Structure 1
Amino acid sequence: MSEAPDVATAWRWLLERKPGTRGAAHESLAVVGEAAYAESCLRSLYPFPTHGALHFLRGTPPWSEPGFDDLPFILYGGPPYKVYSSGYTELLGEVATPEAAAALAVAHLPAQVVTESGE
């Protein structure tokens, strides 16, 4: 499975559920993806669904820089929707809606990411 070459394409493929895209068959990913895309901070990051979670990565493939996957992510099999810090080190919260999960992920982004997104 090839990865999208840039952030905009990755979001488009995810939201359009392009065949062959990671998680395209999962309805629950679609609703979480839409909620995450509505948040400009998350929309500026590379969406990467894997193992039932929607990760937000700092860069595009190939991933070779350290720290590219150090941001909060959302488990999309809810409700409830769980938001974890990178590496499952901390459960940041459980919420009832995809929108609340996206807002919780944004609330736990480093200030640098928020600044870079223009928020």
Structure 2
Amino acid sequence: MAEAPDAATAWRWLLERRPHTRGYLDDELVEIAHAAHAEPLLRALYPWPSHGALHFLRDGQADEHPGERFPYVLYGPAPYTVHSSDFIRLGEPATAGEAVALLVRHLPPEPRRP
């Protein structure tokens, strides 16, 4: 599976549903991916769809930074389930926009500089 070299490319491939990239076959990822991309604080992070959830990384190297975690959202039919970085359920927003807002409210202070 091809991995994007940077966050901007990863977002472009995710939104274009580029063949053979993470999440390209998953129709249920589309709505939350577009909502997350619309938020500058999340757009600055590397999107990492995996196991039915949209995760965010600082640089796309999931295995190299296991302790660096951000909130994530389980995608699928609404409601969405948003979890904190330590796997605590934060809520089940009814819309993708509400899920993104909840994610942003729980980001650590560091990534708030897009």
TM bucket normalised to smaller: over 0.9
Structure 2 length normalisation: TM-score? 0.93
1:91 aligned onto 2:89: yes
2:48 and 2:60 in contact (8 A); partners too = no
Alignment of 1:65-84 (within 5 A): 65-68=65-68, 70-84=69-83
Q: Provide the residue aligned with 1:102 in structure 2.
A: 100
1:3 and 1:61 in contact (8 A); partners too = no
Q: Provide the residue aligned with 2:14 in structure 1.
A: 14
Mapped to 1, the partners of 2:31 and 2:9 lie a distance apart of 18
1:83 and 1:91 in contact (8 A); partners too = yes
1:111 aligned onto 2:109: yes
Structure showing the higher helix proportion among its residues? 1
Structure 1 length normalisation: TM-score? 0.89
- Structure 1 runs not aligned, ≥5 long: none
Identity of aligned residues (%): 54
Mapped to 2, the partners of 1:80 and 1:62 lie a distance apart of 27
Change (3 A) 1:3 1:103: same
2:48 alignment partner, SS class? strand
CA offsets per residue over residues 29-76 of structure 1, 9 Å max, x none? 0110000001000000000000000001112337424533x1000101
Aligned-residue Cα RMSD (Å) equals 1.4
Change (3 A) 1:62 1:50: closer
1:5 and 1:61 in contact (8 A); partners too = no
1:72 and 1:105 in contact (8 A); partners too = yes
Question: How many angstroms does 1:27 deviate by?
Answer: 1.4
Aligned residues: 114
Mapped to 1, the partners of 2:52 and 2:65 lie a distance apart of 24
